[in-house]
Amino acid sequence: MIQISVPATSANMGPGFDCMGIALNIYNTFTIQEIQEGLNISGCPLELCNEKNLIYQSMLQCFQVIGYPPKGYNIHIESKIPLSRGLGSSATCIIGGVLAANEIAGNPLSKEELLCIANKIEGHPDNIAPALFGGIVLSLYEEDKVYYNKLCLPKELKFCALIPDFSLSTQQAREVLPKKISYEDAIFNISHASLLISALLNGNYDLLKHACQDRLHQPYRGELIPHYHEIIEKCKDLDILCTFLSGAGPTIMTILKQENQNFVPSIKKYLNTLSHHWNVIELQMDLKGAQVKSIESLKKHPIK
């Protein structure tokens, strides 16, 4: 029996559309046991407790690559990451599934090989890469291979997620995006993404409020979120470093300095005046990524 813990992720990060994501310290945990036959899934809605479950399907795809014959499985899910809120809950299932399959089969695959399998399931690496490796990960998919680079931010930064009580499907969030963009908008995002990365690396945090601007997805997806523009303006008034849509939304992520103690109580008070309920969660960056351990030995098993 094995246990896999996978962190939440916040993808896109303003101008880093589909290529930049960060791992955060909320986790989904999957406990998986191989049995002779059958499939028993618990800890999630009943409609997901079947062979279409994303964890199980990810296990099967990894088994197929390895050449390992699947048997039966008990899968228990302990979910701390809200569903359909732009915090990478589906990515945790994919990473959990491929890691479980690799562990059950004797760890024949490296992290890079597992990343490629997970990317084929997910379709893009911006969530799955930080979920697997931790930290901020820049990634791209080219010629059937994922190329990535991991960054680690200084500890003086913290994150705060504003999570509403309504969901936003990835399909809906994709449908509102334009089919074509202008040359001007392309340059805008390239320049802002470059500035964002350099500002984070060099500690020039005053630049973040400029660097996190975007023209590819946030202006369109923001229209799907009630009070989006008002919330963004209120966050700016409370001395945060920057805000951005987490993944496809509707969660709004903020970056602020550790010493900013006024933001949380102030934004909670403001959000309570709105028509929807919002949870405010303070977060730190997760640096380790997904972790695998044997429940019997309680020893962590390294992945190549």
Residue 188 CA neighbour count, 13 Å, CB half:
13
Q: Return left, alpha or beta for 269; rule: phi > 0 is left, psi -120 to 50 is alpha, else beta.
A: alpha
> Strand runs (DSSP E) across the chain, as ranges?
2-11, 20-35, 39-42, 72-79, 136-142, 145-151, 157-164, 242-245, 252-257, 278-283, 291-294
Cα angle 121, 61, 250 (rounded to 5 degrees) comes to 30
Binding-site members for ATP are 82-92
DSSP bridge partners of 285: 24
Annotated binding site: 82-92
Amino acid letter, residue 146 = V
Measured at the CA of 216, the angle between CA 146 and CA 198, to 5 degrees, comes to 65
- What distance lies between CA 163 and its chain's CA centroid? 14
Q: Mention every residue, 6+ apart, whose C-beta is less than 8 A from residue 76.
A: 30, 31, 32, 41, 42, 43
Task: Kindly report the length of the chain.
Answer: 304
